[in-house]
Structure 1
Amino acid sequence: MSVSSGRTAPSLIQEILSHLGLANKTAAWGTLGTLRTFLSFTVEKDVQRLLRAITGQGVDHNAIVAVLTNRSREQRQLISRAFQERTQQDLLKSLQAALSGNLEKIVVGLLQPMAQFDAQELRRALKASGSAEDVAMEILATRAPPRLQECLTVYKHDFQVEAEEDIKSETSGTLQDLLLALAKGGRESYSGIIDYNLAEEDVQALQQAEGPSTEGTWVLIFTQRNPEHLIRVFAQYQRYTGQELEEAVRNRFHGNTQVALLSLASVIRNTPLYFADKLHQALQ
């Protein structure tokens, strides 16, 4: 999920949140999030409800929101295909014609395949001033390798250019190095074996990487090591130096590079908390 910096009208936020399938039975549902597989899903009923919502007298915004925000992305794709088969019309285009403004943007995001949505958000972030270190970093750093590879494949297909080429043309310096390294998807996977020697070496390398031309050390460690290893590096760095690694980033780097590294550190420490914080900022 990529949260844009644009403000959404409070009334729309309240409307959407009021329709989310919030868990009210902890023992039965656990912590699955708010947008989840709808257990009583019947694709034909949803198609009929959406059709009535956009062909009746006046667009029924509540019905559209109620259906799309209570179905998983996979279920929404089934609805789209069934709608096409029944009406010979594209559901996304039909809803775009019926809606406008922020609600239209949200519906487009809900109905797009995830790889296409990520590719478009990545392209927009790279082409927009001041968002590569935010949205682009989020997409490249939080997607699992198969999903990231699918996103990059769609990116090349839709825009006729490799994402790496856009990164090279639209960014520079350490931020460019970070994004290129993440785009390669070369982060190590956790083997279950704790490498104490490597953690010690990484801490020492980061402590010594304070002079000119040492940014590559930070890029390599932040983008290649697995999160479990990095969490131990963060803890050990604090024990050795008396300060959190994020404080060292603030002292060592500036501008978009600092923002990118701090975001990456936040993702590594606790990815769900990172997204919760992004959502909280958006709703403010």
Structure 2
Amino acid sequence: MTYRGSIRPFANFNAKSDADFLGRAMKGMGTDEDAILMLLAARSNDQRQQIKAAFKKACGKDLVSELKSELGGLFESLIVALMTPPISYDASQLHKAIKGAGTNDDVLIEILASRTGAQIKGIIKVYKKEFGGKLEKDICGDTSGHYQKLLVILLQGSREEEVDESKIEKDAKDLFAAGEGRFGTDEEKFITILGNRSPEHLRKVFDVYKKLCGSDIEDSIKGETAGNLENLLLAVVKCVRSVPEYFAEGLYKSMRRAGTDDDALMRIMVSRSEVDMLDIRDSFKKMYGASLYTTIQEDTSGDYQRALLYLCGGND
């Protein structure tokens, strides 16, 4: 597979000289935000962790705490996010979503619908280590009903791997019978099929479903469910169809509404920068006829904007 992230490991990497460089950028009067940005945006997350260790060894101080005391606002939040290992970042975003005032369901939905089984298992471990609680228990304390059930299924991180040819037709018919084909909706069926089958299997099911029903599965979900359950089912379907398209839509929504949703914008740009940002950029251009780069330029400003443009990896 070709690498589709916008941030790559820096070729002639030297953690110690990078740590010294950052120390100098934060010394004396005023902070050289430019220097900090240029350096950290040009390193992979793994390299940033090595810089953090080298900084502690050289100065006896925590690099992230130092950066926090020197920077401010959205730029600070973004730099701190870049300094966090990806799995810890996901875990902390989930913790914030659950433990804050009210539940941020958008974050729960985005992370649990889009991460791989292995990533979810990693998140659960890190969550326990860093926050001392069980992620499943915390999520169950904040959610209910069919929505909660599907979140718990996704938390198992154990989707089937294979396409089961013998089940494709049956799954499509079951979904039809559970929604369009009856009065009221059998949510259990939707949850079981969409939560457990492999993405490749589900793509085939959706094709058969369209032939059966004459409309897309998304239309049925919108017609048959509401609220958080609807949003979660739609996110699962979108990620099955195309994870980059799902995130392109997320980025578009974060910027093209009244006021920018900086939390969502930052979360997606940081968490996908070493995964599939180039594909997200392509999808964004295809879906909205505008480049992600210029959209970010129009919606943000200052050092924060420049950091996001770095993560975008160039203007297409």
TM-score if structure 1 supplies the norm length? 0.83
1:213 positional shift = 6.5
In structure 1, distance between residues paired with 2:28 and 2:239: 45
For 2:46 and 2:56, the matched residues in 1 are separated by: 16
Counterpart check, 1:158 vs 2:130: yes
- What is the CA RMSD across the aligned residues, in angstroms? 1.7
In structure 1, the partner of 2:84 is: 112
Distance 1:107 1:42 in 2: 20
Q: Which residue of 2 aligns with 1:131?
A: 104
Task: Tell me how far 1:87 sits from its aligned partner.
Answer: 0.7
Partner residue, 2:231: 259
What runs of 5+ residues in structure 2 fail to find an aligned partner?
Answer: 257-316
Shift in alpha-carbon separation, 1:163–1:91, aligned structure 2, 3 A? same
Cα deviation code 1:16-75 (max 9, x no counterpart):
xxxxxxxxxxxxxx6632112122322223112211111132111111111111111111
Please list, as runs of the form range in 1=range in 2, the aligned pairs for 1:230-241 lying within 5 A after superposition.
Answer: 230-241=202-213
Structure 1, gaps ≥5 residues long: 1-29
Three-state SS of the structure 2 residue aligned to 1:94 is helix
Q: Which residue of 1 aligns with 2:63?
A: 91
Q: Distance in 2 between matches of 1:63 and 1:243?
A: 53
Aligned match for 1:185, one of 138, 148, 157: 157
Aligned mates of 1:126, 1:283 — CA distance in 2: 24
Aligned to 2:270: none
Structure 1 stretches of 4+ moved >6 Å: none
Deviation at 1:84, TM superposition (A): 0.7
Describe how 1:4-43 pairs up with structure 2 within 5 A: 32-43=4-15
Aligned to 1:245: 217
Q: Are the counterparts in 1 of residues 117 and 157 from structure 2 also a CA contact under 8 Å?
A: yes
CA distance in 1, matches of 2:184, 2:131: 37
Aligned residues: 251
Amino acid at match of 2:164: D
1:77 — aligned with what? 49
What is residue 10 of structure 1 aligned with on the other side?
none
Find the aligned partners of 1:31 and 1:118 in 2 and give their Cα distance: 21
Residue pair 2:103, 2:142 contacting (<8 A) in 1 also: no
SS at match of 1:125: helix
Q: Would the alpha carbon gap of residues 65 and 283 (structure 1) be closer, same or farther in structure 2, given more than 3 Å must change?
A: farther
- How far has the Cα of 1:117 moved from its partner? 1.1
| CA distance 1:283–1:138, shift in 2 (3 Å) | same
1:209 partnered with 2:200: no
Cα distance between partner residues in 2 of 1:76 and 1:283? 28
Identity across matched positions, percent: 35
* Residue 26 of structure 2 corresponds to residue 57 of structure 1: no
- Deviations along 1:168-203, one digit per CA (max 9) or x if unpaired, are 11011111011111111121113xxx4332010100
SS of equivalent to 1:55? coil
**What is the alpha-carbon distance in structure 1 between the residues aligned to residue 98 and residue 193 of structure 2?**
24
Residue 107 of structure 1 and its aligned partner are, at CA, apart by 1.3
Give the structure 1 partner of residue 143 of structure 2. Answer: 171
Q: Does 1:197 align with 2:166?
A: yes
- In structure 1, the residue corresponding to 2:26 is in which secondary structure? helix
For residues 208 and 42 of structure 1, the distance between their equivalents in structure 2, rounded to whole angstroms, comes to 60
> Matched residues in 2 for 1:82 and 1:117: separation?
21
Q: Distance in 2 between matches of 1:53 and 1:206?
A: 58
Preserved CA contact (<8 Å) 2:49 2:85 = yes
Whether the 8 Å CA contact 2:81–2:89 is kept in 1: the answer is yes
Match of 1:26 in 2: none
What TM-score do you get using the length of structure 2 for normalisation? Answer: 0.75
